Amino acid sequence: IHVRGLTTMKRMLAMSALVLVGLALASSSDAGGKKKKGNKTPELPPPASDIPKYMKMLNGSNSESRALAIHKIGLRGLVNANDVLDAVDPIRTALEKDRNANVRKEAALALGNIQPDPKDTVPLLTKTVKQDKVMDVRLAATVALGQYAAEAKSALPTLREFSGEFKDKKKSQQAQTVMAAIRSISGKKK
């Protein structure tokens, strides 16, 4: 698996993307996730030594545990993608096949953070935007595509089609998330 090194700009983009997805998902309840009240401290990535524990959780029967494991692996991948290379294929599988929407959402976000080879990952994320029935999952895949920036140009037609699903593009947080990804990929400023 080819993994690119993250520059400061890419880290800033990734963190911005996480904020955007948080805003977009705040009003949506398709995934049934619970919101934490009063927690304004940013979550820190786990140490590399915890990754084997999360790898074991990926195969568990509890969807909450799988989602948590993928989330933590994704956070670690944001810091050092090499620490989580063994998790990329199981996370791709989770995005494609897991029945739980929250697991799929976390898988999309994790792939955006880790940024494995775009040749394999961008088509999967694009397919998710097109075909997943849950808005939170589609938005998470959109954010992940935005993190790939110019390497996700092949996703632009799908993202433009997706943006057409929102009536009020200026007021809809979800539409703003899609438009931010499009700008990131196309290199255009607001």
| pLDDT the model gives residue 2 | 45
pLDDT of residue 56: 97
In sequence order, what are the residues at sequence separation of 6 or more whose Cβ sits closer than 8 angstroms to the Cβ of residue 91? 58, 70, 73, 74, 107, 110, 111, 114
The three-state (H, E, C) secondary structure of 101-119, written as one string: HHHHHHHHHHHHHHCECHH
Q: pLDDT by residue for the chain (190 residues), tens digit each?
A: 444 544 445 545 555 555 445 444 443 433 334 444 556 678 899 999 999 999 999 999 999 999 999 999 999 999 999 999 999 999 999 999 999 999 999 999 999 999 999 999 999 999 999 999 999 999 999 999 999 999 999 999 999 999 999 987 677 899 999 999 999 999 977 6
For every residue of the chain, DSSP letters joined together read --BPPPPHHHHHHHHHHHHHHHHHHHT--TT-PPPPSS--SPPPPPPGGGHHHHHHHTT-S-HHHHHHHHHHHHHHHHH-GGGGGGGHHHHHHHHHH-S-HHHHHHHHHHHHHH-B-HHHHHHHHHHHHHH-S-HHHHHHHHHHHHHHGGGGGGGHHHHHHHHTT-S-TTT-HHHHHHHHHHHHHHT---
For the entire predicted model, the pTM comes to 0.80
